[in-house]
Structure 1
Amino acid sequence: MAYPLITNCPVCSKQLKITKLQCTHCHTTVENEFQLSKFAALGQDQLQFIETFLKCRGNIKEVEKELGISYPTVRGKLDDIITSLGYTTNKKMEIDKKKIVSMLEKGEITAEEAIHLLKEGEL
């Protein structure tokens, strides 16, 4: 039975190093220090969200429908994942007003969500 990969030590909570890989077919073993992907540190919920986001080809409106959550919630989840991957999100990033209007015209966001985004840009 295979267990999910853990990335932090259960004793001290520091990051673990992967030092051994083994083939399940021929039992060849390779030992060395292997680097984990940044995605290995994400939680199961975050990975499922990324999978849904990719399946929807990054269309936030489709992600909303698929998960039954609002546009601001989708953005919040994306920001959380971006932060977990070690990047910073700038909440005060300049909002592209033309892009918001275009998204509204295409039906990708609601009028309420457009207003929220425009107000967010005024922070």
Structure 2
Amino acid sequence: MKEVIGICPVCGEKMRVTRLECSHCGTAIEGQFELCKFCYLTREQRELLEIFIKTRGNIREMEKELNLSYPTIRNKLDNLIAALGYEVERRPVVDKKEVLRKLEEGEITVDEAIKLLKEG
């Protein structure tokens, strides 16, 4: 059986289901039915979500499973979150080498460096 697609391959708009049928008894219901928000995700996004659930949200495990870097996975998760209609908190990327350089040169304190590294 083919998988339902949520996005029209011609115009890119959301698709809707107009007929449901029981494969056992043949009962059919016609109308206009909304797909769930997960149906509108791309195949790649659904696979990422599946791995996220499989690894219980452990990004380090996702890194191993997907053979991708932590920042790449974070970016893909942010895109997935946005695709589901949620606002994504965009945190600035912290340059760890720059933080250590500033610490070494006395531009920031140890506490400030720790805070910056925790934010990133």
Aligned-residue offset at 1:74: 1.0
Structure 2 partner of 1:13: 12
The one-letter amino acid of 2:60's match is K
| 2:36 is equivalent to residue 37 of structure 1 | yes
Query: How far is 1:41 from its partner?
Result: 0.6
- Give the direction of change, closer, same or farther, for the CA distance of 1:11–1:71 in structure 2 (3 Å limit): closer
Q: Runs of 5+ in structure 1 lacking a partner?
A: 94-114
CA drift of 1:120 comes to 6.6
Name the counterpart of 1:63. Answer: 62
Following superposition, the deviation at residue 3 of structure 1 comes to 2.0
When structure 1 is superposed on structure 2, of 8-17 and 49-58 the one drifting more is 8-17
Which amino acid in 2 is paired with 1:59?
A: N
Distance 2:72 2:12 in 1: 29
Q: Which runs of structure 2 are paired with 1:30-109 in the superposition (5 Å)?
A: 30-92=29-91
2:7 is paired with a residue of what secondary structure? coil
Taking the aligned partners of 1:71 and 1:14, their CA distance within structure 2 comes to 32
1:24 aligns with 2:23: yes
Contact kept in structure 1, 2:19 and 2:28, CA below 8 Å: yes
**Aligned-partner residue type, residue 29 of structure 1:** A
1:73 is paired with a residue whose SS is helix
- Identity of paired residues, percent? 49
- SS of the residue 1:57 aligns to: coil
Q: Cα distance, 1:11 vs. partner?
A: 4.2
Q: Which runs of 5+ in 2 are unaligned?
A: 93-113
Give the direction of change, closer, same or farther, for the CA distance of 1:73–1:10 in structure 2 (3 Å limit): closer
CA distance in 2 between counterparts of 1:14 and 1:46 reads: 17
Change (3 A) 1:91 1:10: closer
